């Protein structure tokens, strides 16, 4: 079953959120998808053991950063639990003045989402957020993808 699931190609995203104490969290995720065009919304799956999950539960909003191939190291940094705050030292991170969320200014796309639904399923929480704003990189589309345990450039 897992061999089949590894064959699902997905874009690589970094999800950010802040907890009640104002601490920022970031996690690499390949389980991000659009839900609806009206209202524009995204679905994000986060393991309940991940540190980001608690921040997502406490926050009214979250940010989805769609990575480009040049941001592969950021993906690696944000997928390592030990990285903590140091994951924000690499890359063009900025703080959004409206939400306080960290975002990658040079990501292929950035989506600021207002959390609308949280649902537990198996080992994960499913979060659905309405997209409030989007930042799209100029130029050609060049997305970092993940397939069968490997990074790909699309």
Q: What percent of the chain has pLDDT over 90?
A: 89
* pLDDT tier at 105, thresholds 50, 70, 90: very high
Range 86-100 average pLDDT: 95
The two tokens of residue 56 are 């997502």
pLDDT digits (tens, 9 = 90+) for 8-47: 999 999 999 999 999 999 999 999 999 999 999 999 999 9
Predicted confidence (pLDDT) at residue 131 exceeds the cutoff of 90: yes
Sign of the dihedral through C-alpha 91, 79, 112, 86: negative
* pLDDT tier at 82, thresholds 50, 70, 90: confident
Closest to 106 in 3D by CA, of 62, 74, 153, 150:
74
Rounded to whole angstroms, the Cα distance separating 101 from 56 reads: 12
To the nearest 10°, the Cα dihedral for 24, 29, 31, 32?
A: 60
Whole-prediction pTM value? 0.95
Rounded to whole angstroms, the Cα distance separating 83 from 130 reads: 29
CB atoms within 10 A of CB 121: 9
CB atoms within 10 A of CB 139: 7
């Amino acid at each position: 079953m897992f061999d089949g699931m590894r064959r699902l190609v997905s874009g690589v995203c970094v999800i950010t959120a802040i907890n009640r104490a104002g601490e920022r969290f970031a996690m690499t995720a390949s389980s991000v998808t659009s839900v609806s065009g009206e209202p524009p919304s995204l679905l994000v799956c986060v393991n309940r053991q991940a540190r980001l999950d608690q921040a997502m539960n406490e926050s009214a909003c979250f940010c989805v950063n769609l990575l480009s191939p040049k941001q592969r190291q950021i993906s690696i940094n944000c997928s390592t639990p030990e990285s903590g705050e140091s994951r924000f030292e690499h890359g063009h991170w900025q703080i959004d003045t409206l939400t306080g969320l960290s975002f990658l200014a040079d990501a292929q796309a950035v989506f600021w989402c207002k959390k609308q639904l949280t649902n537990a399923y198996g080992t994960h929480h499913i979060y659905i957020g309405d997209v409030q704003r989007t930042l799209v990189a100029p130029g050609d589309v060049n997305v970092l993808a993940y397939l069968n345990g490997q990074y790909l450039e699309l």
